[in-house]
Structure 1
Amino acid sequence: MPGRPRKPQGAWRARLLAGALAAMLMAPAAAAVAAGAATAALAVTEVRPGVFVHFGMLQDWAPENGGDVANLAFVTGSRCVAVIDTGGTPAVGEALRAAVARATPLPVCYVINTHAHPDHLLGNVAFRSGAEPPPRFVASARLAPALAARATSYLNALARDFGLRLEARDLVYPDIAVERTAQLDLGGRVLDLRAWPTAHTDNDLTVYDPQTRTLFASDLLFVRHMPALDGSLRGWLAAMAELRQVPASLVVPGHGPADGDGRAAFDAQFAYLDSLLRAVRTALREGLSLPQAVERIGVPGGAPWLLADRFHRRNVTAAYAELEWEDNAPAPSPPAPAGPGAATGARP
């Protein structure tokens, strides 16, 4: 079980962090990165020896929270450090970089992006400057085209909502593309990376540390925060069945707290996604239009998901678009997989 994060909680914490990041958000990205030494470090928890996690706020990506809404992490070896996701603005990335420097004198040799959503990678630019040699940036082979397709939208959102004007060159693309699997040697510690078929997105990547049996599932697992579908519902359910076979003793989600092997969290997310699959298939068999399906399909009972009003209707829309062209007699949804302790399946 991880220790409790040493950081303020609730609305007070949101106001504190948003205020601390606001000045940097109003500056150009280059100035934010140049501020390095004076930047306040993000609060992190050492959840396992040499494994540090910053737990983002359970809110939508917005200026009120400074874009600090995703879980970010770094893992230390004897030679260097791997950072796993960098946050939703350059300022969050710089604060994470300060947290790394506070925890260890070792250099950052890898920055891993788990997928192309803005709350996970817009802090990359903070790690590109001022390091010699600079770190390698690692992601799924499909992240670069996904980021390129959304670059203008991300830059516009930062300018419109955050008052932060970045240029295209401030979006950092990977120079190591993972087609299926890869390993990163940090010195005495090797991380196993796996790129997944389309699931939460079409460019998901997980990181597994065999030394501490820690799985960084990123947004393939949401805890308390409603899952957000931006890829394939069927693919996500299939990926979850495989993730449940990883022999992890600690699973770190992309959003929400980490709590042991993730069994309960996987169960809750599976229940929601499977219910969504079944409900949309029923609506399609009954000939409902997309607007009718969105109005009819409510959030199922069970886990009290946060941000349901923000994401559930979007999930119904995405699922409808995916399932609309299935065969008329679709195969049943995947069965609920056995717990992680029931098998010793492949690592990501």
Structure 2
Amino acid sequence: MATCWNRISDRASLLLALCLSCVPAHALTPLPVAPGTWMVQGAAEEFDRRNSGDISNSAFIITAGGVVVIDTGSTLAYGQALRSAIAGLTELPVRWVINTHHHPDHVFGNAAFSDARIMALPGTITALERDATAFLGTLHARLGDAAQGTRVRLPDTPVSEGALDLDGYVLHLHALRGHTGADLVIHDPHTGVLFTGDILFWQRAPTTPHSPSLTHWLAELDELAALDASAVVPGHGPLARSDAPLVQTRAWLAWLDNLLREGVARGATQNELIHTALPEAFARLPLARFELTRSVSHFYRRYEDALWQDTNAPLRPNGEQK
């Protein structure tokens, strides 16, 4: 009986292995957003080998003249899987790619789209030229085999704020700065969908390493609030059909700005602020503690310098500081 069971088990294992070999190693599931519009949602996690770097959102629009892809993911494998997913929905070619910003989880799939025009703000291209080598080293170290073959493919077409005409399909581009210094937000007037890149996070704490200013980022959220959007595809997190991503991102950034401003003013150390208790609204937010640590680590000195500059500013005749 045991021998018979072993044979059956061996055959089952062989069949399972054969079946798995027929399944793509990296399969993505596009989620419908609007007519002709799809997104692929990343995990609310940081890069690691378990998630293969699939942590950010990508999207694509199928137009009459071809497909436009918005952000290409972290690796060559992701970019190839995204192409396969698109091919499962349309026979039209991918003709255009838009990179919303230069962070590695949004641009390193570019190499899978060598036959497409890849567009980005000039500042995004410059930043990627500056940081790509370091990004790529970190990517390979964290992802191992999942990053195999991944290389830098720079955007080849600079774009600016305004209307972008893709053979008759017009998108509206908004050039912002809050997240990295060069951030594209894309509004599709045909469907009302707003693709925000990492200007908005939803159900995941925002990351801030290249942000020029939290107050600047907050001001830009007011600009986004004025746009008429039927749906929001954030840089990270699920699709939203309300302003919830904007509300949550604003609340986090305002809390972080206030924490740094008040903490530095009362002489709190960087380490004290890193260990601040999270407000109830953020206590269960994925990566909240991780992102608080990173944000305080790179913003603390800026807020400290700003405090000393204000303190040492010369007085006006009425005794107020300039």
- Picking from 36, 46, 59, the partner of 1:73 is 59
Partner AA of 2:182 in structure 1: N
Which residue does the alignment assign to 1:269? Answer: 249
Partner AA of 1:220 in structure 2: I
Q: Is the 8 A contact 1:55 1:72 kept in 2?
A: yes
Q: Is the 8 A contact 2:47 2:143 kept in 1?
A: no
Q: Does 1:210 align with 2:189?
A: yes
Q: Is the 8 A contact 1:178 1:195 kept in 2?
A: no
Other structure's SS at 2:59 match: strand
Q: Is the 8 A contact 2:40 2:57 kept in 1?
A: yes
| CA–CA distance in structure 2, aligned partners of residues 41 and 127 of structure 1 | 17
Query: Identity rate of aligned residues, in percent?
Result: 36
Alpha-carbon offset, residue 285 of structure 1: 1.4
- Provide Cα deviations, 1:241-300, integer angstroms capped at 9, x if missing partner: 111111001011111111213x222222211111111111111211334334334x3322
* Structure 1 residues 79 and 162, CA gap change in structure 2 (3 angstroms): same
**CA-atom RMSD, angstroms?**
2.2
Q: Is the 8 A contact 1:272 1:300 kept in 2?
A: no
- Picking from 173, 177, 183, the partner of 2:158 is 177
After superposition, residues 274-285 of structure 1 pair within 5 angstroms as: 274-285=254-265
- Provide Cα deviations, 1:13-58, integer angstroms capped at 9, x if missing partner: xxxxxxxxxx9xxxxxxxxxxxxx9676410012100101111111
Calculate the TM-score normalised by the size of structure 2: 0.82
Q: Does 1:92 align with 2:78?
A: yes
| CA–CA distance in structure 1, aligned partners of residues 95 and 165 of structure 2 | 10
Which residue does the alignment assign to 1:142? Answer: 123
| CA–CA distance in structure 2, aligned partners of residues 322 and 192 of structure 1 | 34
Q: Is the 8 A contact 1:299 1:312 kept in 2?
A: no
Partner AA of 2:75 in structure 1: T
| CA–CA distance in structure 1, aligned partners of residues 143 and 66 of structure 2 | 33
Which residue does the alignment assign to 1:322? Answer: 302
| CA–CA distance in structure 2, aligned partners of residues 320 and 160 of structure 1 | 28
Q: Is the 8 A contact 1:55 1:70 kept in 2?
A: yes
Calculate the TM-score normalised by the size of structure 1: 0.76
Partner AA of 2:240 in structure 1: D
Q: Is the 8 A contact 2:32 2:38 kept in 1?
A: yes
Q: Does 1:201 align with 2:183?
A: no
Q: Does 1:161 align with 2:142?
A: yes
Q: Is the 8 A contact 2:26 2:78 kept in 1?
A: no
| CA–CA distance in structure 2, aligned partners of residues 221 and 233 of structure 1 | 13
Q: Does 1:103 align with 2:89?
A: yes
Which residue does the alignment assign to 2:274? Answer: 294
Which residue does the alignment assign to 1:227? Answer: 206
Q: Is the 8 A contact 1:213 1:249 kept in 2?
A: yes
Runs of 4+ aligned residues of structure 1 deviating over 6 Å after TM superposition are: 165-168
| CA–CA distance in structure 2, aligned partners of residues 316 and 83 of structure 1 | 34
| CA–CA distance in structure 2, aligned partners of residues 190 and 39 of structure 1 | 35
- Mind listing any 5+ residue stretches in structure 1 that lack a counterpart? 1-22, 24-36, 129-133, 330-348
Partner AA of 2:93 in structure 1: P
| CA–CA distance in structure 1, aligned partners of residues 52 and 205 of structure 2 | 20
Other structure's SS at 1:201 match: coil
- Provide Cα deviations, 1:53-76, integer angstroms capped at 9, x if missing partner: 111111112211111111110011
After superposition, residues 12-31 of structure 1 pair within 5 angstroms as: none
Q: Is the 8 A contact 1:77 1:186 kept in 2?
A: no
| CA–CA distance in structure 2, aligned partners of residues 246 and 308 of structure 1 | 28
Number of equivalenced pairs = 284
* Structure 1 residues 65 and 178, CA gap change in structure 2 (3 angstroms): same
Alpha-carbon offset, residue 167 of structure 1: 7.7
- Provide Cα deviations, 1:85-125, integer angstroms capped at 9, x if missing partner: 11111101100011111111111111111111111111110
Alpha-carbon offset, residue 186 of structure 1: 4.6
